[in-house]
Amino acid sequence: MTNLIGKYLNPLTDFGFKKLFGSEPNKDFLIDFLNQILPAEHQIKTLTYAQNEHLGQTEIDRKAIFDLYCIGTSGERFIVEIQKAKQNYFKDRSVFYATFPIQEQAKSGDWNFQLTPVYTIGILDFTFDETKNESQLLHQVELKDQNNKVFYDKLKFIYIELPKFNKSDDELTTQFDKWLYIFKHLAELQNRPIALQEKIFKRFFEAAEIAKFSQDERQVYESSLKYYRDIKNVVDTSKEEGIKEGKQVGEKEKATEIAINLINLKMDNDTIVKATGLSLDQIHELRKSKKRKTS
């Protein structure tokens, strides 16, 4: 077995997330984290882990598997997921998953349809395209009417864009900041930062120490870590290729613009090639295009 890099678990891996936030001995970690983003009326005192795999009511219904699914003492339902990379129809999937905790509340016999709140919480290792230029990283979504008034307050979607969190350990001021710092940096740390001296973080770091795991747990974690790294490498490579391709497109557009200006100034082809880096064939095409437009 190869050596694992780092002293602590990566909480963005499937194994790491469920080990640290989805096990009964550690559920106070999940409670503390969720209470940083939930409204005052739905603060959690305790919770119960529920089956994280749900099947629809008919054979044609698709199976939904959540990272964590839990129920608060007042019946509130919480789906908590780590999303490692952008996915087609991610928002559609979030809405689809939210229907299962709603449907399971149905009661046989005479029922008045009263529901308990359902929260879908996504910890995202990416940013939404439509918000990538905004600094806000916490997004709370609910049903509103045309006047922006809340129409239904029992269905909420909360998303956290982790890449936007850039605070250093000496800039952590809130408990929310501290949890985000842990999600983003735990796997890189060798010691618990001074800013994370609260009792709950002391226990958290102890629970995250890889050296304390059994051999079986290490093997499962290594597989989970490899899967996470493979996904991350694919995403990072795609980004780099996209940036490179974008630069190349931009450079070509700029070179073409310069070439057209030099053609209008009646410069010879050799000079234009040297000035722009375009090929002689490309210059000929630009000259033909100019003639077609002026003829």
pLDDT of residue 79: 94
- Which range is most confident: 56-60, 108-112, 251-255? 108-112
Give the pairing type, strands 118-124 and 138-144: unpaired
What confidence tens digit (pLDDT) does each residue in 1-12 have?
A: 445 568 999 999
Q: Report pTM.
A: 0.76
Helix H or strand E encompassing 71: strand 68-72
Residue 60 has pLDDT above 50, yes or no: no
- Residues 223, 14 contacting (CB under 8 angstroms): no
Average pLDDT of the residues in 72-90 = 86
Residue 246 has pLDDT above 70, yes or no: no
- Integer angstrom CA distances of residue 261 from 265, 274, 295: 6, 14, 18
pLDDT of residue 41: 84
Domain boundaries, the chain: 14-240, 246-294
Distance CA 95, CA 146 (A): 20
Average pLDDT of the residues in 216-241 = 80
Q: How many residues does the chain have?
A: 295
What confidence tens digit (pLDDT) does each residue in 190-199 have?
A: 999 999 999 9
Which three-class secondary structure state does DSSP give residue 184? Answer: helix
Q: Which residues contact 159 (CB under 8 A, 6 or more apart)?
A: 121, 122, 124, 128, 138, 139, 141
Distance CA 17, CA 33 (A): 13
Distance CA 13, CA 154 (A): 30
Q: Could you tell me which residue, 292 or 148, shows the higher pLDDT?
A: 148
Residue 241: exposure state from Cβ atoms within 10 A (0-12, 13-18, ≥19): exposed
Average pLDDT of the residues in 264-273 = 77
Q: What percent of the chain has pLDDT over 90?
A: 55
